[in-house]
Amino acid sequence: MNLNVSGHHLVVTPSIHAYVTEKMEKIRRHFDHVLDATVMLSVEKLIQKAEVTLHLRGKEIHAEASDENLYAAIDLLIDKLDRQVLRHKDKTKNHAHAAMKHQVVAE
């Protein structure tokens, strides 16, 4: 998975980059077919905002979260993204089983 971390009105320090990389490993453990991910971290007044776009085969998943603390915003973002990825994985898994059932019935 290619990971691109960038900041808007924010300097992405090596510690922030390492934290995002570590948290994105959770997504990779649950779903292995992620082509690349783009993470945008930004600051607007006192609100820290984190956004991510995952590029999968045939689909893009987008999530965003904000908090007063950047690390908390990243944690919220990963939780939202994890739920979306697991839901996508479950849908693709269910469609594959449904196709196999139709194939067995047709024979």
Cβ burial of 68 (10 Å; 0-12, 13-18, 19+) is exposed
What pLDDT shows up at residue 28? 85
Residue 82 in this model has a pLDDT that exceeds 60: yes
Read off the amino acid at residue 95: H
What pLDDT shows up at residue 60? 93
The answer as to CATH 3.40.50.10420 being correct for domain 2-106 is no
CA 65 to chain centre: 12
Domain ranges of the chain: 2-106
Q: Please report, for residues 36, 42, 60, 80, 98, the alpha-carbon distance to residue 57 in angstroms, rounded to integers and kept in the order given.
A: 10, 27, 8, 20, 20
Using one digit for the tens of pLDDT, what is the confidence trace for 1-49? 789 999 999 999 999 999 999 999 988 887 877 889 999 999 998 999 9
Residue 93 in this model has a pLDDT that exceeds 90: no
Question: Distance between the two ends of the chain, CA-based, in angstroms?
Answer: 39
Lowest-confidence region among 37-41, 54-58, 69-73: 54-58
